[in-house]
Amino acid sequence: MQNILDKAVEYGRNFISYGKTASYIPELSKVDPNQLGATIVTLQGEIYSSGDCGSTFSMQSVSKPVALMLAIADRGEDFVFKRVGMEPTGDAFNSIIRLETIKPSKPLNPMINAGAIAIDSFILGSNARERFRRLIEFFRHISGNDSLWYNPSIYRSENETGFRNRALANFMKDNDILIGDVEEVLELYFKQCSIEVNCQDIATIGSVLAAGGVSPITEQRIVDKQIANLVKTFMVTCGMYDASGEFAVRVGIPAKSGVGGGIMAAVPNRMGIGVFSPALDQKGNSTAGVKVLEYLSRELNLSIF
């Protein structure tokens, strides 16, 4: 396994130069684009790492399936999916167009920005502080990393420049989708996106999903099997945004990318994989990260299809 992972990372390096770090969040453009690391956590609890796996990065949209699990555990499926849809979109992750053209207004799915912001407004807690505390504790629990925290510079950068996310949130508030105070919800969303992780943290989360909600390391149940399976399904249909179809064909693994360069993958009953390389393609997915997963899928026969 170590040998195959090393080779996958070596292969992936050839594709770093095809991408660019995200620039619409100013702080992300400062990250060294030449990093590439990957970690596998198997359901037997073995851990394999290769490349720059000591690097940390902000979760960005990799956080979305995790927040979704907490919101469903808090509110139940009926509540959540009355307000957020289940359909993939061929539009960009931050697109606003469908919010107005679909009637009644509803974000298409919980993996695009609009859906994820709405999801954060469903998280329970008597005030903003408690909601954030519950969220970070859930992220710590599922990643097995008790010291997870958000990166304050990235948080500030997102908050200061998140005009489009603000527009999405305000539009959803006007349509009674988003619950509570718009600015408080955005603060929670930006903090969540700025949570700093390494490849092992997201590989561990992937392994919990792969194991149907149980941690292969602690053997503790973190979420219901039903919730873990539902989230994996969203990762297949919407996890790589408007590249989800091509990724399903070429890689065939439930996965979620983020503009920080991370990709979290969950191979049912086998392993979680965390990959990090900050240079992104046009759609916001890590160029080298996708190639590492493509290589691993081919060599280890990981496709679920």
Task: Answer yes or no: 29 catalytic.
Answer: no
Buried b (16+ CB within 10 A) or exposed e, 27-44: bbeebebebbbbbbbbbe
Task: Answer yes or no: 189 catalytic.
Answer: yes
Task: Single out the segment in contact with ligand DON by CB under 6 A; choices: 102-110, 136-144, 208-216, 254-262.
Answer: 254-262
Decide if residue 61 touches ligand DON (CB under 6 A): yes
Task: Single out the segment in contact with ligand DON by CB under 6 A; choices: 69-77, 80-88, 97-105, 252-260.
Answer: 252-260
What span, in angstroms and rounded, lies between the C-alpha atoms of 9 and 27?
Answer: 26
Distance in Å, CB of 284 to ligand DON, minimum: 3
Among 158, 196, 201, 294, binds ligand DON (CB under 6 A): 158
How many other C-beta atoms can be found within 10 angstroms of the C-beta atom of residue 97? 10
Kind plus residue range of the DSSP H or E element containing 51: strand 47-51
Distance in Å, CB of 159 to ligand DON, minimum: 10
Decide if residue 95 touches ligand DON (CB under 6 A): no
Q: Residue 300 corresponds to which tokens in the numbers above?
A: 């280890």
Q: Cα–Cα distances in Å, from 222 out to 116, 170, 213?
A: 21, 33, 6
Among 60, 157, 200, 204, binds ligand DON (CB under 6 A): 60
Task: Say if CB 114 and CB 89 are below 8 A apart.
Answer: no
Decide if residue 257 touches ligand DON (CB under 6 A): yes
From the list 114, 123, 21, the residue with the least C-alpha distance to 66 is 123
Decide if residue 19 touches ligand DON (CB under 6 A): no
Which residues are known catalytic residues? 61, 64, 189, 241, 259
> Where do contacts with ligand DON occur on this chain (CB under 6 A)?
60-61, 93-94, 113, 158, 165, 193, 241, 257-259, 284
